[in-house]
Amino acid sequence: MALANLSALLQDVNKQYSLSNVLGKIPVLHFHSEFNICPECGTVLITQKVKQRTVFTKVYSEIKVKEHIKQCKKCNKKYYSSELLKLVQKHCNYSYDCIVEVGKLRYIKKRQISEIQEIFNNKYDLQISYTQIRRLCYKLYVLNEKYPVISIEKYPLFFTKIE
Ligand SMILES: [Zn+2]
């Protein structure tokens, strides 16, 4: 009982001191391509557009990301931020740490999807839908095919279809 109270207290502290609560607003992070000159033709790159999206991370909860996409005027090639790609996949709003956490809770700790929702809400101050959790599980499955780290012998549940 005391341990449960302590756990609830720590979750409240986590929420209270989340980055957006401390700053009083959702933090905005800027990401730039590491190239200033086109590696193909040597032309100076210009910023083609700044793309904004919301990203959910386990550590910082909700953040706004502004990606400054550069383009070569001569060969039209576009250059994106490689740092942003290390944080979150293209066309995805949940960072890799969320994907890994969902996978860990689902396949290693064998939590139900509703429990994962509760953990994300209480511990990481993130609202996440049932469908999104399933999508993240699938993303982890696809990533594991590309970069295998999870073995079928150790975690057979990972390789069974989620209902
Ligand atoms: Zn070029």
Convert the pLDDT of each residue in 34-93 to its tens digit: 999 999 999 999 999 999 999 999 988 899 999 999 999 999 999 999 999 999 999 899
Structure confidence at residue 59 (pLDDT) = 86
Separation of CA 71 and ligand 1 centre (Å): 8
Separation of CA 69 and ligand 1 centre (Å): 14
What is the rounded CA–CA span in Å between residue 142 and residue 37? 34
More confident residue, 154 or 83: 83
Structure confidence at residue 96 (pLDDT) = 92
Confidence bin at 6 (pLDDT 50/70/90): low
* pLDDT reading at 163 higher than 50: no
Structure confidence at residue 148 (pLDDT) = 73
Average pLDDT rounded to a whole number, residues 105-122? 93
Separation of CA 40 and ligand 1 centre (Å): 5
Separation of CA 46 and ligand 1 centre (Å): 11
Structure confidence at residue 161 (pLDDT) = 55
What length does the chain have?
163
Element (H, E) at 54: strand 46-57
Q: List b or e across 3-33, with b for residues whose CB sees 16 or more CB atoms inside 10 angstroms.
A: eeeeeeeebeeeeeebbeeeeeeeeeeebbb
- The pTM of this model reads 0.77
Separation of CA 85 and ligand 1 centre (Å): 22
Amino acid at 142: V
Separation of CA 92 and ligand 1 centre (Å): 28
E-strand ranges in 1-160 read 28-32, 46-57, 61-71, 78-79
Structure confidence at residue 26 (pLDDT) = 86
Separation of CA 78 and ligand 1 centre (Å): 9
* pLDDT reading at 134 higher than 70: yes
What is the rounded CA–CA span in Å between residue 115 and residue 123? 12
CA atoms within 13 A on the CB side of 38: 17
Structure confidence at residue 108 (pLDDT) = 84
Average pLDDT rounded to a whole number, residues 94-117? 92
Separation of CA 57 and ligand 1 centre (Å): 34
Mean of per-residue pLDDT scores for the chain: 86
